[in-house]
Structure formats: structure tokens, C-alpha cells
Structure 1
Amino acid sequence: MSSASSSDADNTADIPSADIIRLILAHLTESGLHATCATLREETSLGMAGIFPTSKGRLIACAEEGRWGEVLEIIECLDVERYRKNYIDDYCKSKDGAKETVMVTPLEKALALAHEMTVLELADHGEYELAYAALRMCSEMLDKSLPSSNEHDMDDDQDAKDDDGPSGSLGIITSRTGDIERRITALTSMRSTPTNGGGAAFDLPLNYYGPNNQTQQKRRSQISKLLKQHVPQLPLQRLSSLLQQSIKWQCHTGVYPTVQKLFQDEDNLIDENDGGMDNEGKKKKKRKKQATEQKFDLVLGNVDISAGGSKKKHKSKDGEGIPSRPTQTICLGKKSYIESALFLPDGKGLITGSSDGFIEIWGEPITNDSATGLGSMIQTEIHFEKLRTSDLVYQKNDDLMMHDAPVIAMDVSHDGTLLGSTSADGTVCVWKIMDGKLLRKLERAHGGSGGGDKGAAVSCIQFSPDGSKILTGGHDYTCREFGLLASRMLKEFRGHKSYVNCCGYVTITNAVDGKSTSTLAVVTGSADGKVIVWDAKVSEPMREIAPPVPLSSTAALHESQSIVSSKSIHTVLHLHAPPQTMIVVPRSDRAYLMTYTGTILRVFTRDDVQGTEFLAASVSPSNQWLFVAADDGKCVVFDVSSGSVEKIIRSFAEDCSTRSEKASEITGVLHHPHRGMIGGYSNDKGQKRGILTLWK
């Protein structure tokens, strides 16, 4: 009994609860939940065991370039006490069980040098009061971690120890804080004394940045090297990896016998399928499929045995099954074509803008539902082929919203009360959806001298998150922001060399370990083949992104100054999963999943044919599926997470147009906000009439 119990004790590892919290902190940071991470750090008073590789690379670059504010922001989250305890434990073990001693760890030394360099460079830039204030805040750390002079503080092979002699020309040193104060005092005195040479503003006292009169850049490089060497680096996805390894081990040891049996059944089915009769093989393949669809619940610790039995449940995940057949068709009058369309946020209506200037809202409830709320909106069947007149009286009275030119683009405010529309003559209108009243009208929003001169066509529009402003892009190569209260232009984003086809507001999160800062940005896509990310406050470009041109595109190899050198970008879709990403769709045979910094994460290309061009695109509400209409008349459905082609709807263009001789090119694709339903339409003038077909 005693030997068995001692054996169990030897095989048991005590995991400190603080380390579990640190794993959660790292997982929150990696998942982009920086505010939650900061709150947890504040409540537990625990720091992170290290920083991620991207943050470490940024830390080293900032130290090399002297951006010490960012350096201190990155290292602020580190748990120095944990590092110190582990370092001393390892030191005592290496000395054959020596007692704990007072020492300065390499990490403490590197962090102290970074703080010291911050103070010295502040003083060098003339910020004396700020330098003294920063010195007072970190004086205890500097005196504890660094010797009284800087003669040997960069030597990794020599232990830190105090010097009793003078440091250069700065006097007798009693502490590191006193040493820094004397250097700043000498700097202040030197620069306040006029000299005949006129170079006092750039002179430095002897050994100001380090022994042997080191230069500023050399000192930066040395500190950067120390930070690179001693700041711990966190592995990616550590928490999820540990959970996966734990489940595998518990299955192996029989702690979860049901899960173990599940895995064994899968292996047996695979082995049995290697031989046998055809009929028996079909049965075994079916059994294998059901077994692999069974799910293990990590939170509850059990297996959902019925998961493999319901094919319908698996297919309709989150209500976003892939549409396969046309169900409803909206038809306009003869020689009238749909130029733009979108669903209402609640999914109970669909708005179309036509070539003759009419704006119509479709979607009459099939059954009267007395329930209210979002749940009833989703479940109520809508007849999209009929105009919505039950609650929109103005449509019943034929008092429609209307422009004098084709309605090119539309957008609905986040609360679903306002509709913004743009037309080919440069007019922008804002309507109240419930009564159809015109609230604002901006004529020649993108240029025009008045009179008979029409403004440039406005090709895209979006409401700001709070609904107080609208963002528009036009054929004058600009994007403009208008205030609805003042009815005037507030900002102009100028930098594209061709038509602006899409624009939108996004919130970009800049993550620095445990902290995050959010910036409101504007993203525009243009026919010049570029996506520009703008600072929404100052209208200045933050980044210009040009998706790579496929090698099969021969137009731009000789005409670098022409807009044909890059494929026109007609769609930019902003995603919430993965966070801080967008899908850029140019008129080429591929689309790109990118970050707002321009990094390409995934390329979407067809595997059935090459050389086709993507004409329009939309994404499902969960960001699981990407629907792309191609110029060969097919709609390609991509899995966003893997980039693979999940399905191809072959008769998409044929069923979304009324042209007899050949299918028209698709102009737009839209997705229902709650259901697995998509729509497609074309503005091809060769059609008998414009239609919009809904697929389910």
C-alpha cells in the first residue's frame, strides 16, 4: 500500500493555480480579448510569463529605433517575480542545493537598462521635468538591479557590482539613481552654457550613454540584444495544445472509457473496410461515417452519441446550410434592371434599386405572427416576391422612394431605421424606411459645378456605426464623409487613381500584450487595384495594399502606369472571424483573405477551371462561407477557414437573369442576415426585364 501510494505521488505534478491563470491570460491575448485580459490581470495581480513572437519582434525593433514608450508598454505585462523565482531555483540546483542568495536576474537587468535609457533619452530631447519624474518612479528598480555606475552593466559575463570610483567626469557615485541624476545635471549645465561653436544643443557629457563614451545607437543595440536574449517568448496556442494532450492521455489511460471506445470503434471500422463484399462494404462505410460524426463535449466530459445520426442537424449548422435551389424571384417591369440590392438587418425585407431610379422594399409576411422580437423575425416566412405593404403604407399607395437616375448603391443604418442611396448623377439621399420620407439630399456629392452639370456617379455608401455620418465613394476617385446633421462634407479621402468601388468603416485593434487600443479606420477599394486603409480622424492613409496580380494577367506587364496594370477591386468584405481581417475580391480568378496590414492569410481559387474572373461576392453572417459569382455563370462557394471549394452552383447566372441567348454577367450577390439564403442579380441591358433570384 505504501509503495503504491508513493508511486502515485511520484507521478503527480502539482500545477500552481497562478500558472493556470497565466495560461488563460495568454489565451485571451492570442484571441484578441485584450480588455478581458487586462481586467483579469488587474484582479489577480499576475503578469504574463512572456510575450508572443510578434510582440517580441516589435519589442526588439522599438528598442533599436529608440521608441521607448512602446518598449515599456510591451514589457509592462511581464511577471518578473515568476522569472526571478525560477531563475534562483535553477541557480541553486546548479550549485548542488545552495541556499537562495540575493542576486539580480538577467531579465531584471535588461528591463532596468531599458528604463534608464528612457530617462536618458528624454533628457537628451530636452524633456528634463519628464525625465526626472520618470527617474523618481523607477529609482528603486534601478538601484536594486544595476550597479552604481555603468562601467560594467552591459557585460553579460560579469556579475553586477558597485564601483567605488568616479564615473567619467560626473563625480562620485553612491547609487545608480544618483549616477543618472548627475549625468542629467551635467547635460543641463552643458546645454545651458553658450559656446562659440554653436553646437551646445547636441553636445553630451562624457560617458553619458555608457562607458568609453558610447553612442546612443550603440547603447540601443546593446539593450535590444539583451531584451532579445532574456525576455521569455510564449508558445502559440499553448492552452488548447495542453487540453488536447490531456484528453488524448485520459483516453489512453481509460479515464474516459466512452471516448476510448469511440476511437477504437473508428479504428476497427477502418480495418474491416479493407476487405469484404461490396454490399457489406457499403454498410461498414456508413457505420464509419456515423462514428466519426460523434462528438466529445470538452466542457461536460461526455459524448453526444446521437450527433452522428442526424444528417439534417449536421448540415444546417447555425442555420447556414449552403443554398442549392432557386426558391423566389423578384421581377421588375420591362426594360427595368436591378442596379443594387440588400436585405434589411432583421431579415424581413429586401430593398432593390433599379435602373429607372425606383427604390422598392420587398417581403410580405405569409402568416400573421403576433410574436415580437428577433426570434419571430427569423422564423416568420417572408414572401419576397411581393412588395411589403402591410406596414409600409406609402408603398401601398404607390408613393415610392425615387431618384432621377439609376440607383447604384444603398446601405441601411445599424438600427434599421434609415436608408442611404446613391445614383449615377451624383445624388445621395437618406430616407426614413418606415414612412418613406426624404430626410437629406446631397446633390453633386462628388463634384459638379451646378446647373446642368451632373456630379460624378456615387458608387458606394455606408453609414457610420452611430448613424450620424455617411461614407461615400465615387467616380471622381475620392471617398467622402458627410455629416447628416449639418448636411455637408466633413472629410475627403483622396489618393486613388480610379473609381472607388467600395468603402466602409472598420475598427482596427492594435494589440500590445495585455493592452489594446482601437482606431476607427476607413477602408476603400478601387478600380486602380488598390485597397487603402485610412485614419478616419485625420483622413490620412495608414496603409496601401495592392493584391498580387496573377501571372496569367498579361495586361500590366508592360503598362505599369495604367489602371489595367492591376485588377479592379470591386468588393471588400470585412470579417469578424477571423478578427481584424477582410476578403478582397478583384476582377480576377482569385480572392484574398488579408489582414488590415496587408498580410495575405489565404487565397481563394477555383479547382475546377482556371482563367475565370470573379464578378461579385458576399459572405455568410458567421463568416463560414464565401459566395463568389464568376463570369462563366457559376457561383463558387468557398470555406473561409480552409480556402477549399465547398460547392459550385452551376446555373446561378442563368437563373438570375432573363437573357435568352446566353446568361448575363452577375452584378451583385447578397446574403440573408440570419438564414442560409443568397440572392443574385444582373443589370445587363440585354435582358427582357430585371430579376433578382433568391436561393435556398
Structure 2
Amino acid sequence: MSSTNTNTMEIESSETYFRPKSQEETTVALNTVESVEAFSSEILQGNWDNVLRIVSQLKIPEKKLMDLYEQIVIELVELREIGTARTLLRQTNPTQLLRDQFPNRYLHLEHVLSRSHFDPKEAYPNGVSKEKRRQIIAQALSSEVTVVAPSRLLTLLGQSLKFQEQQGMLPPDSGYDLFRGTVPVVQAETDDVPTKCYNTIKFPKKQHAECVAFSPNGQYLVTGSMDGFIEIWNYLTAKLRKDLKYQAEDNLMAMESAVLCLGFSKDSEMLASGAQDGKIKVWKIQTGQCLRRYSPAHQGGVTSVCFSPDGTQVLSASFDLTVRLHGLKSGKMLREFRGHTSFVNHASFSLDGTQVMTSSSDGTIKIWDYKTANCLRSFSPHDGTGTMAGAAGLTVNSCIPFPRPNQILVCMKSPTAYLLTMDGEMIRKFISPESATEGAIKDMAAASAPTGGDGMKKEGLGVPMTDFVTTSLSPQAEIVYCLAENSQVHCYYSDNGKLIKSIPVAEGEVISMVAHPFSNVLAVNTVDGRVLLWKA
């Protein structure tokens, strides 16, 4: 047994002595080995590297562990591996317990260690031999372990998963992947319109979710609240995810002010959150650990956050009229995109990651070079006749990449959403069914021109008009969802712009909406403190 291997194994053993990681996570100690006979044979042969490796995963009484470590120290001295014996004696938990509870035995080991030669009679008093000591230890440790058949273990795991389903920690009737530790999400075969509100998340009185987000892998629904808390939910049961240890212990992720935006990394392992005070934090979802703080990232509230495709940078937009790129490793601002003359409401990467797209209350969409931060082009959506919506000062709420090369879906503070090329050319429009004909819309815009586009009259012209708040896409991008200020979601075919159905999704004022990446599910958050979950 080499001194290096023994020392390394002992470090691992000392870390897991009282509570191995697996036992800490489950709070259940399963003292099982593949074979009791093989375990006993390892002790009788003095294969201490293997013995320590096995024992580190077991829950053994303190006294028996002290006996084991005492014997290993003596045998290391006999082999003249003095450095390893000294480390084992002075830096491990069992030997420290031996020193505190049985000081005479500990001093005896120190004496044996300090001798220039090894004397078996001195090391093993009262006529006990090395072989006899090994037999005593083997018998003592073997009595602490059992062998469990694989079928029994699978039964225990099945019962555990069933319990988690009953507690709302896992979706019902889901196939849990024991190797990856996740619930697989079956991709919807065909896109369909969500028509049923199947569950609701309710927030405390005078609180509400300012933003919601689904993770790219479909496992998490996250909300960011006006009180600064960030919570992860089971989107099927509308219950808080208690399988995340920090949430089960009420140690929630939190910002110092209202959370205005959320964004996931592509692998769904990290979450970025932007707050009203201009700060950004990056979190590790599985542990709730804050990996990085940008304090402040902006001089105004953060309106949008997203990760670069490789997950090494965070892109953010703000009320301070800027868009900034931050390094995750360095914690520093890498680039700034300046040019908008009003609030920047949204920023995202193009599908290939080479360009940045920004949407602003100044009525424009700007396309930037990701590496140089140079503005490549700036345009406003129009009706196809050359009349620019931005000329009236209409706010551009968002601009997201459409899953076809060089196409973007644009939502404006108007009753019309647009599918454009990244050069600003019109492909298709999605017009609110509650608005008038295109001619009436232009008449209304003209009538409101003295007060500005966002002051457009909605009464007195005989035609009701409802602006869109945000847009989203179905999993296969066959349907465009447009959430309107009157709390209706209008659903359109993306290939022709025809209306499929309009759904009244809430009674109160709506804030935003997100679509699940794989299932026909929508989450809509409202001012009255609810997140309404709709499915097909």
C-alpha cells in the first residue's frame, strides 16, 4: 500500500466520515456492500485502501471506526510509511475522537510512531497479534453491513419516486431518468392552441410576479416577483419545487429590488435575473448559489437579460438607454451598445449568435455586430406601403428570432405584430381581430398624431383598439401567440397570419406571457398576483 494512495483515500474518508453525500441528500443510510465475504476478506488481507473506500460510504459506529484507524496506523508504521501514518493519526476524524475519548491509546500510537524501529510486542500488547486484530475488526465491521438484492433497491427507488409525486415534487405519471436526475419532457407532436386553464399559482396579497420564464429543457417554470424573490415551480402542479434543497429549506434566490426580467442559459443550468435597481445576478439552478453579481450593471432598471449561446456572457438591456455585454468569468462589462434614444425594452442574440437585436421605446429595432458593437442597421416595422410605425413613436416591446434564417418576430405597442427579415422587410402581419380595418387603423393613427403614437385614441372613433403586450411562439413555431392589453391571447397561423382563435386568459390586468418550449402550455402573469397556466 503506497503512502500516496493511503493519504489520498484518507482525505476522501475524512470528508465523508459522518455523512456521505448520498446519505445527506436522502437522509437514509443504506449500509450495503456487494459482498460481506469480500469486504471481510479485504480487511483480513490488510487491503486498507479498498477498506477505507468502502467504509467512507457507510455509517459505522464511532468506536469501531477508531479501532479500524488505530490498526491502520500501526500497520503503516510497520511498513515504515511514517509520513502517511502521521497524517492519518493527526488529521482524521476517527483518530481525533480516539485522542479525546481514549487518550492513553492515542499516546500509545504516538509512541509507536516515534520509535526508530518497529517492535510487534510493543505495538500489540497483551499477546494480541496483527492477524488476530484484523479478525476482530473484520467481524465488527461485517456486522454493520448487509447485502441488498438489486430488485430490492429498485423497489425502494420506485417507492421514493411515488412519494415525490404525491408531494408535488415530480409530475404525475412521469418517467424519471435516474441517471440524469431529470424528468424527460415529451415534445408535442403537433402545435395546438391552449384553451383550458388547468392550474394557477397564487402569490401573497399585494405581491405579484413581474416576469416568468420556462427553462429551455422544459423542467422549470421560474417567477421573479416585485418583492425580489425568485421561485421555481412545477408547472404541472403549480407547486413550489421542493426537490430543490434550498427551496425546501425556504432559502430562496432573491434580489434587493423588484425582479424585472429572467433568462436561462442554453443548458438550463444557469439563470440570470435583472432588477429594478440596475443589478444583475447569475444563479446555479440546482443549488441556488449566486455565481456572479453585476452591481450595478446599469444606471436604470434592467428590462431584459439573456445568455450568449455558449453560456459565457450575459446580454442585458435597460431603462438607461443602453445594452451591455458582461463576462461571466471576469464579472466585467465587455461591450456597450449605444444608439437608442429611449428605453431599451428587449435584447437578444440572432440564431447564429453573430448579431444582437434590440427593441426600444424610440420606435426602432437595431441590429448590432456582436464582436464590435457597431450598429449595422436600424429600422421600424411598417405596413408594407412604406409608412413607418416608428414615425409615430410607437414603442417596440420585443424582437425575438424566428426559427428560420434571417427572420424576426416583432411586438409593438399597437394592435399589430410583425414578422420581418433582419433587414426590416415585411413578411407578414398579425392584426388584432378587435381592431378595425387597416384603413381605420391609419385614420386613428392620423387622428392621434398631435399627441404622439402611444397616445393614440382608442375611443371616440367608433372602433375599439387593443395593443399587444408581448408575443411568443408555439414549440414548432406553427402558431404565433399575441397577448393583448385586454387580457386576451390571439392565436395566429405563422405561415399566413390568419387568426385561429382568441382566448380570454385572465380577468385582471396582464403583465406578460411565456410559452413552454416543448408542450402546448402558456403561462400568463397578472397584476392581481396570479400566474395562470393554460394548456391545449
TM-score, normalising length from structure 1? 0.44
User: 1:477 is matched with which residue?
Assistant: 321
User: 1:57 is matched with which residue?
Assistant: none
- 1:415-454 Cα offsets, whole Å, 9 max, x none, are 111000000001100000000001101112113xxxxxxx
Distance in 2 separating the partners of 1:437 and 1:612: 42
- 1:87-119 Cα offsets, whole Å, 9 max, x none, are xxxxxxxxxxxxxxxxxxxxxxxxxxxxxxxxx
1:600 aligns with 2:426: yes
Distance in 2 separating the partners of 1:409 and 1:472: 10
Tell me the CA shift for residue 317 of structure 1: 7.2
Tell me the CA shift for residue 550 of structure 1: 10
For 1:192-211, list aligned pairs within 5 A. Answer: none
Label 1:335 to 1:415 Cα distance change in 2 as closer, same or farther (>3 A): same
User: 1:576 is matched with which residue?
Assistant: 403
The one-letter amino acid paired with 2:219 is K
Distance in 1 separating the partners of 2:332 and 2:188: 45
Tell me the CA shift for residue 324 of structure 1: 0.6
Match of 1:347 among 218, 234, 238: 218
SS of the equivalent of 2:506 reads helix
Distance in 1 separating the partners of 2:199 and 2:514: 14
Distance in 1 separating the partners of 2:265 and 2:281: 13
Does the aligned pair in 2 maintain the 1:333–1:690 contact within 8 Å?
A: no
SS of the equivalent of 1:473 reads strand
For 1:470-549, list aligned pairs within 5 A. Answer: 470-507=314-351, 520-548=354-382
User: 2:486 is matched with which residue?
Assistant: 632
The one-letter amino acid paired with 2:402 is L
The one-letter amino acid paired with 2:241 is R
The one-letter amino acid paired with 1:567 is L
Match of 1:337 among 208, 211, 234: 208
Label 1:542 to 1:554 Cα distance change in 2 as closer, same or farther (>3 A): closer
Match of 2:268 among 413, 416, 423: 416
User: 2:199 is matched with which residue?
Assistant: 328
TM-score, normalising length from structure 2? 0.57
The one-letter amino acid paired with 1:458 is V
Distance in 2 separating the partners of 1:320 and 1:419: 27
For 1:129-140, list aligned pairs within 5 A. Answer: none
For 1:643-662, list aligned pairs within 5 A. Answer: 643-649=497-503, 651-654=504-507
For 1:57-456, list aligned pairs within 5 A. Answer: 318-363=189-234, 383-390=236-243, 392-447=244-299, 456=300
Label 1:606 to 1:691 Cα distance change in 2 as closer, same or farther (>3 A): closer
Structure with the larger RCO, 1 or 2 (CA within 8 Å, 6+ apart) = 2
Please provide the CA RMSD for this pair: 2.2
Distance in 1 separating the partners of 2:264 and 2:375: 26
The gaps in structure 1 that reach 5 residues or longer are 1-315, 364-381, 448-455, 509-518, 655-662
Identity of aligned residues (%): 32
SS of the equivalent of 2:311 reads coil
Tell me the CA shift for residue 566 of structure 1: 1.9
Tell me the CA shift for residue 322 of structure 1: 1.1
User: 1:587 is matched with which residue?
Assistant: 413
SS of the equivalent of 1:318 reads coil
Distance in 2 separating the partners of 1:487 and 1:580: 31
Tell me the CA shift for residue 633 of structure 1: 2.5
The one-letter amino acid paired with 2:360 is S
Does the aligned pair in 2 maintain the 1:319–1:675 contact within 8 Å?
A: no
- 1:501-536 Cα offsets, whole Å, 9 max, x none, are 11011146xxxxxxxxxx700000011111000001
1:615 aligns with 2:469: yes
Does the aligned pair in 2 maintain the 1:340–1:407 contact within 8 Å?
A: yes
Distance in 2 separating the partners of 1:415 and 1:550: 39
Does the aligned pair in 1 maintain the 2:346–2:397 contact within 8 Å?
A: yes
1:693 aligns with 2:519: no
Does the aligned pair in 2 maintain the 1:497–1:528 contact within 8 Å?
A: yes
Label 1:471 to 1:399 Cα distance change in 2 as closer, same or farther (>3 A): same
Query: Higher helix share goes to which structure?
Result: 1
Label 1:580 to 1:607 Cα distance change in 2 as closer, same or farther (>3 A): same
Distance in 2 separating the partners of 1:674 and 1:507: 18
Distance in 2 separating the partners of 1:320 and 1:485: 39
Does the aligned pair in 1 maintain the 2:201–2:532 contact within 8 Å?
A: yes
Does the aligned pair in 2 maintain the 1:429–1:440 contact within 8 Å?
A: yes
Moved more, 459-468 or 328-337: 328-337
Match of 1:460 among 287, 304, 310: 304
SS of the equivalent of 2:247 reads helix
SS of the equivalent of 1:667 reads strand
Tell me the CA shift for residue 622 of structure 1: 1.2
Tell me the CA shift for residue 594 of structure 1: 0.4
The one-letter amino acid paired with 1:342 is A
Does the aligned pair in 2 maintain the 1:503–1:525 contact within 8 Å?
A: yes
Does the aligned pair in 1 maintain the 2:384–2:426 contact within 8 Å?
A: no
